[in-house]
Every structure is written in C-alpha cells, then in structure tokens.
Chain A
C-alpha cells in the first residue's frame, strides 16, 4: 500500500473512531451505574446486532488506524528497516483484529 493510501486510510479511520470513542466512553459511564457484572454486560450485548456492528466497526477501524501510527513511531524512534517496520505494523494489525473481533463475537 502506498504512503498516500496509508495516509488517507489513517485519516478516514480516525474520523470514524472519533465519534465512536465518545459513544464508547459514554457507554462505560452509563454501564457502571447499574453495577458491572457479566450478566449485566451480556444482557446488553447478547443477540444485539446493533452493538455487534458498532464494536465490529470500532475494532476494524482501530486495527487499521493504530498500526499506521505504530509504523511511524518505529520509523522515528528505532533504527529498524522498512521491512521490519511494515512486518511489525502488520502483526499489530492482525493482533488487534483477532483480539478485538474475538471479544465482539464472544459477547454476541
């Protein structure tokens, strides 16, 4: 993927994440009001396609956005070559995607 494409993808994913993070933070504040238990969380998420779609998109956006930032940080702060940097960024992407989607599927 070209630098231009990565730049565009990172900005678009940031634009998607910005309002989602606010909703996510709001949800945390509301959710803990009634006590935080597995039953309480599952009662909200089980068979709820809306929340599954919301957090599915959240995970995909984060898995796209964060590794591009990690790539830039590695370039600026380490002496690694592009091959290693791109490899580590891809590992970060896959890790976020697998862990995030596993969590979304587990509570659906």
Chain B
C-alpha cells in the first residue's frame, strides 16, 4: 500500500552534462507533472530550475520530456504517465540544455524567422479590416492549423529535427501553412520559397510524431503535406486575391 501512495521521481540536474537526482514524493489523487516539479523545488531542491507561467495549458512554457516523451506538464496528469510509480523528467529533446529542466528555445524561435512565418498585411491601419470568408477553402485549411501555443513539443518530438538541426521543423512550417492560406498575407511567394528552401518542408519524412504529441491536437504533419502539395500547384493559385 505504501508503494502505491509514493512516487519515485528522477529529475535531470545540470546542463548538457549533469546527473539524475532522485526524489521520493507522496502520490496524490490529482496532480500534474508540473505539480510534482513544483513540489520538488519548494520542498526538496530550491535551486531546481524549470519554466512555467499560466499552469492551464495556454502559454506553452512548461513543456518537458516525461518518461521519454514530450509533454505539456501542466496538463499532464501523473497517473496517466507514471510507470509503476516512477517518473523521469528532463528538458525537451533537440534543444540546448541551459539548467536542469530549462532548455534554450532560441533555435526553435529562429526556425519561425527562417521559415518566413511572419504575417505581412496588405493594408495599413487606416484601412478597414479586410474581410475573410469563413466558408472559403483556404480559411478552413488555415483554421485546422491555428491555435498553436508554441510549446516546442512537436519540435522536440520530431526525428528529422533530431537528425538535422537546420530543418525548419513542424511548428514553423505549420505556421507557414496558415499564412499561405491567409488571403490577407501579402508575401505569399516569399513565404512559400522560404518554406521550400534547403532544410525546409521537403525534408519532412511524414513520421507524424508532431501530430501525435501536439498537446492542442494540431497536425503539423498535415500542414507540411499541404505545403508539399503546393510544390505541384504553386502557392499563388490558392488565393483569390493573389
């Protein structure tokens, strides 16, 4: 009975080189992985570094690798991921480790810049808002790829990123897909050519780990498949106003 009420937690301490620290905690009925990390920091290891902000699955700050899989820890219940009362918690894969559970997100953010995933409007602020038909096919396509919280879980889950750190990765390419389906975005050709640059969308192997682990259930893999399809049709033909 005592075993059932206890958790054994292994937490990565250090940067690129470091060690596993082990903690024993009391298992509670309702606790998330973030709750566990917070308890360790407050009661056992005040110097433990980790990131979080909203604690309700909106900000995308608290992603970590839990028992070998990338997770948003604030919405991941321990009872769903613990393996016989054991949890192994480490920083996200594919990103440089700064300290303990904190990784450097710069390479991830950099992919958004390199992918051309930046909205460029057609009108000025003095113009009336441009109308977008919610029933149009491009709008529906964009809709299915919106609501990314930039948590980098997909980037961490992606094997192609693991093999080739210059690959733009699922999050940035998913964002590009929304822009190429946004008739308000003026730089369609520029964004498309950046997405199809070296180490761009054609590097994707369609493994689908991004879709499997995305906490908000987006499918970057489908967005990238859409981008690949544009290689044949071109981006220009999709939008009425181009």
User: Would you list which residues of chain A between 1 and 35 have a CB under 8 Å from chain B?
Assistant: 2-4, 6-8, 11
A72 contacts partner chain B, Cβ-Cβ < 8 Å: yes
Q: Is the beta-carbon distance between B163 and A7 smaller than 8 angstroms?
A: no
Q: Is the beta-carbon distance between A7 and B196 smaller than 8 angstroms?
A: yes
B199 contacts partner chain A, Cβ-Cβ < 8 Å: yes
Q: Is the beta-carbon distance between B163 and A2 smaller than 8 angstroms?
A: no
Which single member of B196, B198, B228 contacts A82 (CB below 8 Å)?
B198
User: A75-B199, A75-B203 given as contacts; is B231 within 8 A of A7 (CB)?
Assistant: yes
Minimum CB–CB distance from B111 to chain A (whole Å) comes to: 16
Minimum CB–CB distance from B194 to chain A (whole Å) comes to: 11
B120 contacts partner chain A, Cβ-Cβ < 8 Å: no
What is the size category of the interface that chain A forms with chain B? Answer: 10 to 19
Total chain B interface residues with beta-carbon distance under 8 A: 14
Contacts of A82 in B (CB 8 A): 198
User: Would you list which residues of chain B between 1 and 37 have a CB under 8 Å from chain A?
Assistant: none
CA distance A75 to B160 in the complex (A): 10
User: A8-B231, A8-B232 given as contacts; is B164 within 8 A of A3 (CB)?
Assistant: no
CA distance A2 to B201 in the complex (A): 13
B202 contacts partner chain A, Cβ-Cβ < 8 Å: yes
CA distance A2 to B196 in the complex (A): 8
Q: Is the beta-carbon distance between B160 and A3 smaller than 8 angstroms?
A: no
A76 contacts partner chain B, Cβ-Cβ < 8 Å: yes
Most buried by B among A2, A7, A77: A7
B60 contacts partner chain A, Cβ-Cβ < 8 Å: no
User: Would you list which residues of chain B between 156 and 187 have a CB under 8 Å from chain A?
Assistant: 160, 163-164
Minimum CB–CB distance from A34 to chain B (whole Å) comes to: 42
CA distance A6 to B196 in the complex (A): 10
Q: Is the beta-carbon distance between B164 and A7 smaller than 8 angstroms?
A: no
Residues of A in contact with B (beta carbons under 8 Å apart): 2-4, 6-8, 11, 72, 75-77, 82
Known contacts A4-B196, A76-B163, A82-B198; 16 further A-B pairs (Cβ under 8 A): A3-B197, A3-B198, A3-B200, A4-B193, A4-B202, A7-B196, A7-B202, A7-B231, A11-B231, A11-B232, A75-B199, A75-B203, A76-B160, A76-B164, A76-B203, A77-B163
Residues of B in contact with A (beta carbons under 8 Å apart): 160, 163-164, 193, 196-200, 202-203, 228, 231-232
* 4 pairs of A and B residues whose beta carbons are closest in the complex: A76-B163, A7-B202, A4-B196, A4-B231
